[in-house]
Amino acid sequence: MLKNLNQICRHIFKVRPSITSSSVLPIISHIHTSSGMTDKFELPARYHGSEKSVWVEYIQLALEYKPLNLGQGFPDYPPPDYVTKGLAEVVTGENCLLNQYTRGFGHPRLVNAISKLYSKLLNRDINPNTEVLVTAGAYEALLVQF
């Protein structure tokens, strides 16, 4: 028996590959609501009444117009051997310091390069340590901006 929504979704797409996610969402929503799972996944009170993200509109437009998405990297070919071998050497090597998270605001060389570029473009000095923030994506950047 299928025990959770993830399993249900995978099963539906496996059995019927022609089904789109937009046609399955109302079904899943009904299952979700009638199964007593609503409380478990309810948004915290601080999010009630907040505006929808701009990405909700973009996703709807993408479903309608089916554009070519150049914003997400889902290649359909493997990376070159030298890349995977190099990565394997770094993560399995003796120097564990080569396999660490960067600082939270971006790697120093990166923020310095960004600062240098935008200082020229904006005709003013930009401090890489206080005026540059590297994020994991546009949504995160918008979130921390406001």
Amino acid identity, residue 110? L
Judge contact between 8 and 28, C-beta under 8 A. Answer: yes
Convert 17-72 into a string of H (helix), E (strand) and C (coil): CCCCHHHHHHHHHHHHHHCCCCCCCCCCHHHCCCCCCHHHHHHHHHHHHCCCCCCC
pLDDT tens track, the chain, 146 positions: 445 555 666 666 666 666 655 555 555 555 555 555 556 667 677 777 777 777 778 778 888 888 876 666 666 788 899 999 998 988 888 888 777 776 778 888 999 999 999 999 999 999 998 899 888 877 788 787 76
pLDDT at site 36: 52
Claim: this prediction has a pTM higher than 0.75: no
What's the token pair of residue 51? 């505006």
